[in-house]
Chains A and B, each alone.
Chain A
Amino acid sequence: MPSIAKPRIPLAPLAHNDLGLTIRDYEGAMSTLCAGCGHDSVTAAISLAFFELSIRPRDIAKLSGIGCSSKTPTYFINGAHGFNSAHGRMAAIATGAIAAQRGLHYIGVSGDGDSLSIGLGHLSHAIRRNVDMTYIIENNGVYGLTKGQVSPSADVGSRPKKGDPNVVPPIDPMELGLALGATFLARGFSGDKDQLVPLIKAAVAHRGFALLDVISPCVSFNDHEGSTKSYRFFREHEVHEIETDFVPQRAEIRSKISSDSARAVTMHDGSVMYFRALPEGYNPTDRVSVEAYLAERKAMGEVPTGLLFLREGAPDLHDMSGTVSRPLADLDLADLCPGNDALQRLQESFR
């Protein structure tokens, strides 16, 4: 726990976004995680992404489950709505919240334990339903809060700080997402904000379930030699072949970033994701091509990062459920609760 809260220094040159807010308005309480935790960098990237997108804090809802990663929503965007759910239940709670209040930007922060062990079922169904949210897995391959047991994302052969190397094959969130029909799959690294911040922005702009697997090293229990999720190992094995730029909708006219070779995918709100550099034969909108690429890289012991798969225009939870277009909270009482007669008619229709 730091000795002091990050002081507010009245410096003139602090940048303002379109709402007139500064980055300080997108911060939260001081982190109580270990010094050097990758999660704190992800927190900073989330703050920066929402600041740069000029989204009002009150239009954001942040959700989490249990674990080190799930503590982090406390550390960003104090003015946002928040829900800290039971272990692994964040995706379910988020699904309910989004069904009822579709007017907010939802960001869920979870970890490899919360999402890939206890919460794997809920995560899978949220992917299937294409729930409109940004879902970040802060992936460190270890149960840090309980002192360093291997997690379901630990690679075979990866050595914990104490004990024997892991022998159980890992769950790769990207492969899982492809198998379940996810519409936005990206992998980032807490130590590379230049890549991570645009990925978070694109995930927020995406309509549907955006799954971001962020390698976020645990400095206390998984940053040693023999770990495959340490800062050093990841830097040595990361493949940064997919270069993307996120261009917000309102900046498109003045942006000259698109080159002829770049492949553009327009998001639902008019923002554009430009793929500037792609590996030979790679098509980020084609599941088969992505699966083949990931399998090939995995066999070589490499971990590709970037926006790996993107499918815009797929029906989301609301489309599939036929929900009303307005948040329930905005409906008149008469619309929200049409009365006993309506209920009787509905029940009659099921007979």
Chain B
Amino acid sequence: MEPTNTQDPSYFHRVVDCQWACPAHTNVPGYIRLISQGRFDDAYLLNRESNVFPGVLGRVCDRPCEPACRRDRVDGDPVAICRLKRVAADLAGDVRSRLPRPGTPNGKRVACVGAGPASLTVANDLAPLGYEVVILERFDRAGGLMRTNIPEFRLPAAVLDDEIAMITEMGVDVRLGAPVTSLRELLDEDYDAVFVGSGAPKPKDLVIPGRFEEVGETHIHLGIEWLESVAFGHLERIGERVLIIGVGNTAMDCCRTSLRLGGRTIKVMARRPREYFKASTWELVDAEEEGVEIVVNHAPRRFVLEEGRLVGVEFEVLEWDDGARHSVVRDTIVISCDDVVIAVGQENAFPWIERDLGIEFTEWDTPVVDSTTFASTRPGVFFGGDSALGPKNIIWAVAHGHEAALSINLHCRGEALTPRPEATMTLTSQQMGMSEWSYHNDYNPSPRQQMSHVPLAERFRELSREVELGFDPDQTAREVQRCLNCDVQTGFRADLCIECDACLDVCPVQCLTITPNGPEDEVRSRLRAPSGRPHEPLYVSDGLPQTGRVMVKDENVCVHCGLCAERCPTAAWDMVLFEMTSPFTQGSHFIPLSRVTPRVEEVRA
């Protein structure tokens, strides 16, 4: 095998599984360590640099980081990364003085369509560089789906307001109640670039018999529109018996919202077996805890109406084969209800984009967008978030926003969008003295801490009562120590190694092997504790000076305890902190405490 190139930041980046899995590459172990030190402001700011909305995402992120977490492979439960993110947001003080400041105007103007997470991220990154950013929003409040589709009992409005304000206070011109009806007209306004972050606002409908035969007031609702109406206070009640069709995260929000609007018997109707649900596991658990019934293998066939009034839905009861590809109908059943909420998905839709502007659309009527640069086929027009590549989650919208902002900056400076600027890294030894490290290197056997919830009896009193209480100090103290500090990496210098075996002997997970080099399969077969996960990278050193063998490290389950470095007589091993600077625009970096200039009032006081 070729020696591993550790000069390439992506090698060490990949070892930090959570950061690698996060679309915005949030420095997770970095901020968890700051929390453990009680440095909540720093934790919040470090978080914000990448994901822009720590308070929001600390509650409602889809958490791609957690299934990736190394801790999951060690004791079966990932670190509660998302919960800890919220801890940093809950406990951070006033960080305003350390946020990026608006830059000296550079004369460039950028329009963003929609005030959702993607557009707000673009504004966040560009305002500090001196761009004049105008956000055009059709509703009279900013936030996009964070505002309209996520109920307040999961995401309090104050948290969202605060984090949006941190962006808009940089002089971003947010025009509310200003729907864009024609891209041509917008382009005519001579912006230097236009960013489309209009989301996926079009709900998919369920067109089966009876769908459009109601007389008078409708009791068949479309999920995201219905949530919007609730969010804006246009709708305050629902019937006692509600059927939710669909079982994604929107369906979960719909069923739990129904419970708070007078619903008593709520059934979520799913076509397929549970293991094929789209909703996050924890959202299913939360809904069931509140008394929602999830019914599997039921496919809706028709709405049952009596005298133009909805009285129920007829379902086919399905039996699926293994793998749930084919089904046979075993029965039909009518379930009576007062209301139905259809939550079977959503799409992006662009009735306001003229098709002769040089913006190509695919055969599915979605824009052709470069998944790296987020450029459309018309120079200067960029897409991001759900409007770019279809419905995903907030953290993806943020990641798109960062990339698009980078592209917009390059475009406005007349530079090529590719090759992309590369990430850079620093590696810093964490050794403080003999057997002394700057980080807490011991393995803490604590189990994953469980979130406390408001008692069921109190939850339904008002719609805005937040259900999750956040971690208390004890839980936080335990959970931060579950993090394995994957960013404190094992750096190895082959030229210093004397092959004494000390590191191999002391490693608690036997992830090190000294062996003759060879083809990868052969080297893997000689590992002392084969991981059975061949997609996990192997570190392979240069030939060792005394025997020419190589040091091989299976990164799979290294717990970063640093014992290899402690027992190394020649400092061939060292524990080095890997810090990556993502190639976001410089605008997204916060101001270190040492460089905060006190405001005049503070000096006088």
- Which positions in A face B, CB cutoff 8 Å? 1-4, 6-11, 13-14, 31, 34-38, 40-41, 43-44, 190-191, 193, 217, 219-220, 223, 231-232, 235
Contacts and interface: CB of A to CB of B under 8 A. Distances in A.
Contacts of B563: 2, 4, 6
A4 B436 CA distance: 10
Interface string B406-418: 0000000000000
Interface stretch (B120-128, B274-282, B498-506): B498-506
A73 B165 CA distance: 65
A231 B499 contact: yes
Contact of A3 (B441, B499, B532): B441
Nearest to A216: B500
B226 interface: no
Contacts of B183: none
A5 to B, nearest CB: 8
Nearest to B545: A232
A191 B501 contact: yes
Contacts of B435: 1-3
Contact of B567 (A11, A40, A235): A40
Q: Dominant SS at the A interface? A: loop
Interface in B434-490: 435-437, 441-443, 445
18 contacts: A3-B435, A3-B436, A3-B566, A4-B443, A4-B563, A9-B509, A10-B75, A13-B532, A35-B566, A36-B498, A36-B500, A41-B500, A44-B501, A44-B504, A190-B500, A190-B501, A231-B498, A235-B499
A158 to B, nearest CB: 18
A15 to B, nearest CB: 8
Interface string B560-601: 011100111110000000000000000000000000000000
B441 A36 contact: no
A6 B508 CA distance: 6
Given A35-B502, A36-B567, A3 B437 contact: yes
A191 B532 CA distance: 27
B547 A235 contact: yes
A148 to B, nearest CB: 15
Contacts of A219: 498, 500, 569
Contacts of A10: 74-75, 445
Interface residues of B, number: 35
B561 A35 contact: no
A191 B561 contact: no
Contact of B557 (A11, A43, A190, A217): A11
Q: Which residue, of B435, B501, B532, B546, has the highest number of chain A Cβ atoms within 10 A?
A: B501
Nearest to B435: A3
Contacts of A36: 498, 500, 502, 567-570
A8 B501 contact: no
Contacts of A217: 500
A40 B531 CA distance: 25
B529 interface: yes
A348 B501 CA distance: 62
A80 to B, nearest CB: 18
Contacts of A31: 567
B185 to A, nearest CB: 62
A40 B437 contact: no
Contacts of B530: 13
A231 B500 contact: yes
Interface centre among B436, B499, B504, B547 (most CB of A within 10 A): B499
Nearest to B568: A35
A7 B561 contact: yes
Interface in B496-519: 498-502, 504-506, 508-509
Contacts of A35: 502, 566-569
B17 to A, nearest CB: 16
Given A2-B566, A40-B567, A7 B508 contact: yes
B535 to A, nearest CB: 16
B247 interface: no
B90 to A, nearest CB: 31
A232 B498 contact: yes
Contact of B506 (A2, A11, A13, A235): A2
B559 interface: yes
Nearest to B444: A7
Given A7-B442, A9-B559, A44 B500 contact: no
A41 B437 contact: no
